[in-house]
Structure 1
């Protein structure tokens, strides 16, 4: 019975405990243990696979911590407040415009300036008071940020998009169906369009009504003083911006985000934007911003290793093949839903592509799917659970920025909206599209 599959059991435990508001980190540990035991592993083997698997995300975790410190440094120099004020004046009190501007900034973080979620703890916290004054439902902002963090890399072959498209093309080719990188976007634009429709529904309908948030009087006074104060770029601001540009340049040249962040911090320290006596405070602040997310990513990688070692993923995909009975519609539905379960548990689109390709490509070839249909199924199945997964950085990033005052819930205000307005449109697009093209 499919419900007894260890992957299904562990992901159900993960989702249920998260919905019951158990801490995500503890939820991951419990789900990993349950999944391992359900697969017949011993407790010691389960913990061994969990711990050994954590090393796979060590570079990502280090990147997030260093970027958190960099974000704290940018806030310390006042650059973040200037950006927030500029955006506030640009939207002219229109909350819908603000949501779309933030979605645009998030899109740029994937392709033009590939810093991923690092901009969120820099830009979003200074804007929370503006959102409160506009009575803007933060769930709309969470959807906008998730859209910007996800749709561009699925759709556009640049920045993180080039990485994702290369992974998809290489893995499909490796498993017997020759595909080039530039064939991917010609299909995945369908997924991006589905996400855009979902975002429009979320912004213009689901979360368009005013929502009240508590506003601390001291915070309101501080915000109004900042708005009334004339702000000009000074030497520290310019050094900070140079550090940011250098971070991007070093990252692109050496292919190392941690090295880029470290180099940017070094410039800010050497040229005096950050005083020596403030370094320890900024490090602790940066750790507070991003270390929790970094450690969740480490444990999520270990959780994925447990599921991989269990052999249950192969069983899940084989079940999807068996229930299709030769029907492409049923097969597509089963493959997309299988991807949803796996990615919701693992929290990574990039890391799921190799897992699914080795199984899905032979299935698609055997059932007579076209090349575009195969690309659509694999790209969508690997990306579908990312927005709604409690352990995905696509969800953790927006929550990190929107919850600094304790008024935004990770599960109900970020994950559930992302699941409804992105995963459902992606699923429908992949299922119907793979049958028709």
Structure 2
């Protein structure tokens, strides 16, 4: 059924906004999509479970990253960082958020570790955020911006992978375009995200926000007053472990191997005692286990949409309303991209699906190759920010909710959806008409 994608995404969105656990919301969305396509409840579940394996490596990497982050915090080196930031920044909240956005941007292009830095950097800073009365929604916006905007605009690191995905997907559907041209076509949409970030930092979330002092859940980051340690050899070996982890990730592009190597080195260097192994892993699971399961379920939901050809049906129905007006065509194609990516939760996974459907429509409507690339790239990026199932929102939540004070939907997804998807949509739509 053509509207299965729309209805299932609405089910997921409404349930999430009503504070229903996001895992339940995605499960409900997947079953809804299956049932609306004529599948039985059992076959819908089988498709959903069958697709979970596609995200198994991501889920495992998140668990190991959580354990590595806990091991690093055990050494006290993050307390040194917090102490330094307290002295340097004091009450400079805006500068701190901009620095976080810059660090997040480096994670996509300069040192391509994606979200690996978040569980290491952010939890130790939570106490600092509370002392500065910094609105964590601004930090969530900064992190999501850094996880998305660089790969949308800059063809380096993950950006190169994203642009190559667009290029190969267009080429396989009969339209060739160079990487440099694709990069130029996405500058304008990406610029919309810059404006969204500035609005979030300087207008929407600039006011002070005080959170409860004693959360009822979380891992305990920031709950206790801990004496700031002096720099010692344990910290040297910790930095060596971090550098090795970053190098492995950058060279082999394997987050599981990188995180595992970091954990092993922490024990080999005796930075963390062997008898603390169980606690380190358990705390890592507590921090990142929920995120891992969400990614697994999201993979299953994406499989339901793919197996039932729901996306193709939606585009076919939408094409009946396209007409010959390029402005209307571009608007509807971007709207389809927003809906699909909100459900699947991955820009990279959405691009091949959208390109197969968009290229014939764009060629018929007379869009230039660069305008077509703009529509495909923007439609793929749309919805990634704001999707409950996206690592661009799950990553920031994993760090900001380490002490149980940050809500995934209302404090990460809603702010990032409003500040990034709206300008990305507007700027992408405008660029497709001018290029």
Structure 2 length-normalised TM? 0.95
Query: In structure 1, how many angstroms separate the alpha carbons of the residues matched to 2:126 and 2:285?
Result: 21
Kindly state the Cα deviation for residue 149 of structure 1 after the two structures are TM-superposed: 0.9
Cα distance in 2 for residues equivalent to 1:221 and 1:8? 42
Q: Residues 240-319 of structure 1: matches in 2 within 5 Å?
A: 240-319=238-317
1:176 to 2:189 alignment: no
Give how far 1:258 is off: 0.7
After TM superposition, the structure 1 = structure 2 runs for residues 149-160 of structure 1, keeping only pairs within 5 Å, are: 149-160=147-158
Give per-residue Cα distances to partners, 1:171-222, cap 9 Å, x unaligned: 1111111122232221212222110100111111111112121224998794
| Structure 1 residues 353-432: aligned runs within 5 Å | 353-432=351-430
Query: Which of 20, 23, 28 pairs up with 2:26?
Result: 28
CA distance in 2, matches of 1:232, 1:166: 46
Report what 1:42 is aligned to.
Answer: 40
2:148 and 2:392 in contact (8 A); partners too: yes
1:329 aligns with 2:323: no
Q: Structure 1 residues 339 and 238 mapped into 2: Cα distance closer, same or farther (>3 Å)?
A: same
Alpha carbons of structure 1 residues 115 and 83: separation in structure 2 relative to 1, 3 Å: farther
The alpha-carbon distance between structure 1 residues 326 and 257, as it changes in their structure 2 partners (threshold 3 A), is same
Does 1 or 2 have the higher relative contact order (CA < 8 Å, sep 6+)?
2
Instruction: Provide the aligned length of Structure 1 versus Structure 2.
Output: 431
| Equivalent residue in structure 1 for 2:94, among 85, 88, 96 | 96
**Aligned residue number for residue 162 of structure 1:** 160
Over residues 142-170 of structure 1, what are the superposed CA-to-partner deviations in whole Å (9 max), with x where a residue is unaligned?
11111011111111112211111111111
Contact residue 84 and residue 123 of structure 1 kept, 8 A: no
Q: Which secondary structure does the structure 1 equivalent of 2:361 belong to?
A: helix
Q: Does 2:216 correspond to 1:214? A: no
What is aligned with 1:203? 201
**Bigger CA drift: 191-200 or 395-404?**
395-404
Structural mapping, 1:63-102, within 5 Å: 63-102=61-100
**Range 104-113 or range 341-350, more displaced:** 104-113
Q: Shift of the alpha carbon at 1:110? A: 1.4
SS class of match (2:108): coil
Query: RMSD between aligned alpha carbons?
Result: 1.8
| Worse-matched range after superposition: 387-396 or 73-82 | 73-82
- What's the CA shift for 1:71? 0.8
Task: Flag the 1:92–1:337 CA change in 2: closer, same or farther, 3 A.
Answer: same
State the Cα deviation string for residues 340-383 of structure 1 (Å, max 9, x = none): 00011111001000110111111111111111111110000001
Structure 1 unmatched runs, 5+ = none
Compute the TM-score of the two structures, normalised by the length of structure 1.
Answer: 0.95
The answer (yes or no) to whether the contact 1:347–1:391 under 8 Å persists in 2 is yes
SS in structure 2 at match of 1:184: helix
**What does residue 124 of structure 1 align with?**
122
**In 1, Cα distance between equivalents of 2:423 and 2:61:** 32
In the TM superposition, residue 112 of structure 1 has moved relative to its aligned partner by 1.5
Q: How much has 1:271 moved relative to structure 2?
A: 1.5
Query: 2 CA distance for matches of 1:368 and 1:72?
Result: 54
